[in-house]
Amino acid sequence: MGKFSSILLGTISGAAVAYFLTSKKGQEVTAKVTDFIKDVQANPEDFRDQVFQTANDFTNQAVERVSEVKEKVATGQITGETVLTSVKEQAQAALNLSPDKFQGIKDKLQEENIGRDDLLASIQEQAQALEEKVHFLQSEDIVIDLDEKEKD
């Protein structure tokens, strides 16, 4: 049952992607992606500079956020008690949501007539497929140099 569901899901997903890519909106997206790739190929230095600038902006935002939090701790706006209260509230919210989610999953498994062994086999298949993808990606050499080039 698990293999059939996977095959069916893959077929439906493939058909949906094919339909999307042949639709007007899909062709627009494909054209935008193609133009983007051509721009990157034509001006790799500009793209590298944009990536470097974006990474730099994110770094600056993180530094600013850490500074703000340090200032709030120093002024007493954030204390161990406020952090603990926030963590407790978030944990309680997660606990309140969990039973509903678990029950929904159990109901779905029963509707699909999927047993424990089928579920475990499906998870193992997906884990194996993911492991193979990760191994493939790790075998590829991809290098992005984010160091800003020296300007004369």
| Average pLDDT taken over every residue of the chain | 77
CA 1 – CA 122 distance, rounded (Å): 10
- Cβ–Cβ < 8 Å for 146, 55: yes
Longest dimension (CA), the chain: 69
Domain ranges (residues) in the chain = 79-140
CA dihedral defined by 120, 135, 51, 44, rounded to 10 degrees? -140
Amino acid of residue 134: V
Q: Mean pLDDT highest for which of 19-23, 28-32, 36-40, 87-91?
A: 87-91
Dihedral sign from CA coordinates of 15, 20, 23, 28: negative
pLDDT in tens, 49-81: 888 888 888 888 988 888 888 888 888 888 888
Q: What is the pTM of this model?
A: 0.36
Point out the least confidently predicted range of 5-9, 40-44, 119-123. Answer: 5-9
Whether pLDDT at 18 is above 80: no
Which one-letter DSSP state was computed for residue 96?
H
Q: What is the arithmetic mean of pLDDT over 7-12?
A: 74
Dihedral sign from CA coordinates of 122, 127, 132, 137: positive
